[in-house]
Amino acid sequence: MVHRLVVSYGQPADPAAFDTYYREVHAPLALRQPGLVRLTYGHARPLDPRQEGPYLVAELDFDSEAAMGESMASPEGRAAGADLANFATGGVTLVHFDVQQASGA
């Protein structure tokens, strides 16, 4: 079963600088984490324009919750976590869960 870490970034002080840093520095740093199966990200847009959504959402997939914990505790995982202070000026929220697949009845 896939275990997913979702990272939601708030509106940064300088969106262009955030995008460049994320793409050129942070994502490559995060990709070095052992046990990471997949990293995807994108700029979020709320369906309801009256609601404020996150600026960017990243999804990191692991084989299990234990694999995610080991990855985050590794030197590479700690480096990626410490790097957040270098660019996430709008704040950051992390949540994780076991991915379930819905099926039609």
Domain assignment of residue 63, yes or no: yes
Q: How many domains does the chain have?
A: 1
Q: Are 27 and 39 in contact (CB under 8 A)?
A: yes
Domain assignment of residue 65, yes or no: yes
Domain assignment of residue 36, yes or no: yes
pLDDT of 26: 98
Query: pLDDT by residue (tens digit) across 2-46?
Result: 999 999 999 999 999 999 999 999 999 999 999 999 999 999 999
Domain assignment of residue 71, yes or no: yes
Q: Are 77 and 69 in contact (CB under 8 A)?
A: no
Domain assignment of residue 93, yes or no: yes
Q: Are 19 and 90 in contact (CB under 8 A)?
A: no
Res. 49: pLDDT tops 90? no
Average pLDDT over residues 76-102: 96
Domain assignment of residue 104, yes or no: no
Counting residues of the chain whose pLDDT is more than 70, the rounded percentage is 99
pLDDT of 64: 97
1 confidence band (pLDDT: 50, 70, 90): confident
Look at the pTM and tell me if it is higher than 0.85: yes
What does the DSSP 8-state code read for residue 86?
G
Domain assignment of residue 16, yes or no: yes
Q: What is the CATH number of the domain that holds 78?
A: 3.30.70.100
C-alpha span between 86 and 44 (Å, rounded):
21
What does the DSSP 8-state code read for residue 13?
S
Domain assignment of residue 105, yes or no: no
Domain span at residue 67 reads 3-98
